[in-house]
Amino acid sequence: MQTFLYYLAISAYHLAIRLAAVLGVKQAKLWVGGRQDPASANLPLHLRPRQRKHPLLWMHCASLGEWEQGQPVLEALRQQLPEHKILLTFFSPSGYVRCKDSDAADFVGYLPADGPGRASKWVDDIQPDLAIFVKYEFWFFHLRALHRANIPTFLVAASFRIDQPFFRPWGGWWRKMLRFFSAIAVQTPNDQKLLSKRGNYPKNSIVVAGDPRMDRTRQLAQSSFSDPILESFTKASGVTIIAGSVWPPDVDLWKAVWKKLPDNCRLLLAPHQLHEEEIAEWSAAFNALRYTHTNAAAALNSKVLILDTIGVLSRAYRYGDLAYIGGAFKTGLHNTLEPMAYGLPAMFGPKHHKFPEAGAAMQLGGAFTVQTPEELLRVLELLLNTESRKSASGAQMQLSDQLAGAGARTSSTIMKLISLGSR
């Protein structure tokens, strides 16, 4: 009965996306357009089972954020399984658009919409030798098809919360879905405890491996990068605060405190969404320059700069002294690991509880949550003190070091279990 109800719910979800596409929603149109043909129809001949001469590793990610977690695992597995071809799929357009023309995999495509017939056909069409799902991709029919075909299937970078269906008294059907995974690599010991005790998942099939995003962000932090505008903007002595992935509620907080901060403070605002009206309003409110409309000479004398472009923020943190991460007043906290890789003390809003790395940073003294202008001012007063900022920065680097290596730990677990299974 629950399987049927799930099928009805997922069918309604897919229908809603298609209706959104008809109404002109860009992401929905991309989602529908990418699934016009059966997913396997575009698979190159050399990756199809009858023509394939090499084993196939299939990794699936929901979107770009999950790919950032899956990529370090895949890179480590490529070193240990060099003979495998790689098939990479996404549920949403963000990851597909970014990776489709890259060398991330031998083929990049969309995951077929979940359903008993589509999932069985997909698994039969590609016949992977190994399947890896990233973080929270729980598609019942796809997982069941893999399980029935006896294909080793792993969930990596997994993070669990007590309020999820797996851990509810009525969650037996959901716990059954967990058993479709050969093993699960979780981010924290709390995840392991919850999964084994409340989820009734075998403890010997759980490994605490950490968040592989840390590996990716450390790679970016250690790679060379130079930006004349950002270098000029941060050249003057003082403290540079980088407010990354901010939404209007985040910016409202900074509007309330900005004029109360010392004159030697500089603020780099990086919007999460490039909405022209919002950016224009913020430019006026802060008397700010826009990154795409300025040059290094002008940036030198500016106190506020708006980073109105995509793809720079993760490396821009190297120019900062403090970080504010947006989203925790709205959709949920954005990436805290990027500033952590540079040792930047971090601040963010109240909706951070789904992100274990944020809690760990707060516990060590490297991150702080704020909800009001008064709270933000108190934290800034603390962090504008050189010694306090140095202490918080050390805590961030300590946690970064602890979290590093998750990709290798996860891939080693998969290799070990594959080896045991082949005996």
Please check whether residues 262 and 164 belong to one and the same domain: no
Which pLDDT value is given to residue 199? Answer: 93
Residues 301 and 378 in one domain: yes
Sole residue written with tokens 């979780």: 186
- Residue 393's alpha-carbon distances to 6, 69, 218, 296, 345, in angstroms, are 46, 24, 15, 28, 5
Question: For residue 30, what pLDDT band results from cuts at 50, 70 and 90?
Answer: confident
For residue 114, tell me if it sits in a domain.
yes
Most confident region among 62-71, 210-219, 337-346 by mean pLDDT: 337-346
186 and 43 in a single domain? The answer is yes
Any idea what the CATH number is for the domain that residue 96 is in?
3.40.50.11720
Q: What is the number of H-type helices and E-type strands within the chain?
A: 19, 14
The amino acid at residue 68 is E
Query: Could you give the strand order of the β-sheet that contains 56-61, starting from the edge strand earlier in sequence?
Result: 107-110, 85-90, 56-61, 130-134, 153-158, 183-186, 206-208
* 86 backbone dihedrals φ, ψ, rounded to 5°: -115, 125
Residues 399 and 315 in one domain: yes
Is the domain of 310 the same as that of 236?
yes
Cβ atoms 48, 131 nearer than 8 A: no
Q: Which domain holds residue 332?
A: 222-403
Is residue 123 one of the residues assigned to a domain?
yes
Say whether both 173 and 315 belong to one domain: no
The owner of tokens 């031998």 is 106
Type of residue found at 208: V
Q: How many domains does the chain have?
A: 2
Percent of the chain with pLDDT over 90: 82
> By the 8 A CB rule, do 100 and 90 touch?
no
Together in a domain, 60 and 119: yes
Burial of 335 from C-beta contacts in 10 A (0-12 / 13-18 / 19+): buried
**pLDDT value of residue 420:** 58
Is residue 23 situated within a structural domain? no
* Whole-number Å distance between alpha carbons of 81 and 75: 10
134 neighbors 59 (Cβ within 8 angstroms): yes
Check whether residue 44 and residue 156 sit in a common domain: yes
Per-residue confidence band for 44, with pLDDT thresholds at 50, 70 and 90? confident
For 346, phi then psi, to 5°, come to -125, 150
Mean pLDDT to the nearest integer, 290-294: 96
CATH number (domain holding residue 284): 3.40.50.2000
pLDDT in tens, 106-117: 999 999 999 999
The residues facing 322 across adjacent strands are 241
- Residue 12 identity (one-letter amino acid): A
Tell me which residue has tokens 């760990």: 360
What CA–CA distance (Å, rounded) separates 377 from 255? 12
Domain-embedded: residue 414: yes
Per-residue pLDDT reduced to its tens digit, 179-222: 999 999 999 999 999 999 999 999 999 999 999 999 989 988 99
Mean pLDDT value across residues 125-132: 96
Whether the predicted pLDDT of 39 surpasses 70 = no
3-state SS, residue 122: helix
Is 233 in the same domain as 344? yes
The amino acid occupying position 278 is: E
Decide if 18 is inside a domain: no
- Specify whether 256 is located in the same domain as 129: no
- List all residues 6 or more positions away from 418 whose beta carbon is below 8 Å from its beta carbon: 130, 152
Residue 423 scores a pLDDT above 60: no
Q: Is residue 13 assigned to a domain?
A: no
Which one has a higher pLDDT value, 290 or 273? 290
Residues 245 and 317 both lie in one domain: yes
Mean pLDDT score across all residues of the chain: 93
Q: Do strands 289-290 and 304-306 pair parallel, antiparallel, or not at all (unpaired)?
A: parallel
Percent of the chain scored above 70 by pLDDT? 99
- pLDDT confidence tier of residue 171, bands split at 50, 70 and 90: very high
Residues 189 and 313 in one domain: no
Residue 275 in domain = yes
